[in-house]
Amino acid sequence: MFNHLTVDGFFTDAAGDMSWAHRRDPEWTAFMSENASGGGALMFGRITYQQMAGFWPTPAGRAVSPVVADRMNQMEKIVFSRTLKDVSWENTTLLSGDIAAHVRRLKAGPGPDMVILGSGTIVAQLTEAGLIDEYQIVRSPVVLGAGRSLFDGVTRQVPLDLRRTRAFANGNVVSWYEPANANLGSGTKNGA
């Protein structure tokens, strides 16, 4: 899972906006390009999918970051939705129904690692089910005062172990967390 949070812990503002998360500079752009160069499959909920599909395949997406745009367009994508009937972004599979069951099946089978971008509802459901192996959280240097938690709907405590952090000149700090006792092994190789 890779997501931005504000200093006061919000994933989006009260209206669902995340424009505050786009603090670009050469160091951050290089990190994002490097991070996007890894393999794997991208997982989205409907809202994030529609935002990404409306941006990365466009000239504007390519202008912001050609490397990230190319990777986003080429990578396998999985979108979970109860309302979408079809998807048009290349290399996208649409799944509906029990998200946790789908992810358990995907993790148990062969295939690439998976990463969730955005998609707070998916993150919360998969956190609740214990199916996320790593959390990459970008703490952005902004305070919103109100908004939505990335973990709305999680009903249990989920202890995490901090594995590493990296600070950037633009004020972003990335922290990598794993569920506590993750080193005991879950028998799966595909992270969500």
Given pLDDT bands bounded at 50, 70 and 90, which one contains residue 35?
confident
Given pLDDT bands bounded at 50, 70 and 90, which one contains residue 183?
low
Highest averaged pLDDT of the listed ranges 2-11, 37-46, 59-68, 112-121: 2-11
Alpha-carbon distance of 28 to 22, in angstroms, equals 10
Return the minimum-mean-pLDDT range out of 16-25, 98-107, 132-141, 176-185: 176-185
Please determine, for residue 186, whether its predicted confidence score (pLDDT) is greater than 60: no
Given pLDDT bands bounded at 50, 70 and 90, which one contains residue 189?
very low
Task: Answer for the pair 36, 72: CB distance below 8 angstroms, yes or no.
Answer: yes
- Percent above pLDDT 70 for the chain: 93
pTM: 0.86
The pLDDT tens digits of the residues spanning 138-161 come to: 999 999 999 999 999 999 999 999
Task: Answer for the pair 124, 156: CB distance below 8 angstroms, yes or no.
Answer: no
Q: In what order do the strands lie in the sheet with 173-179?
A: 2-6, 135-140, 173-179, 160-167
Residue type, 26: P
Alpha-carbon distance of 52 to 46, in angstroms, equals 10
Domain definitions of the chain by residue range: 2-16+39-184
> Is 2-16+39-184 in CATH node 3.40.430.10?
yes
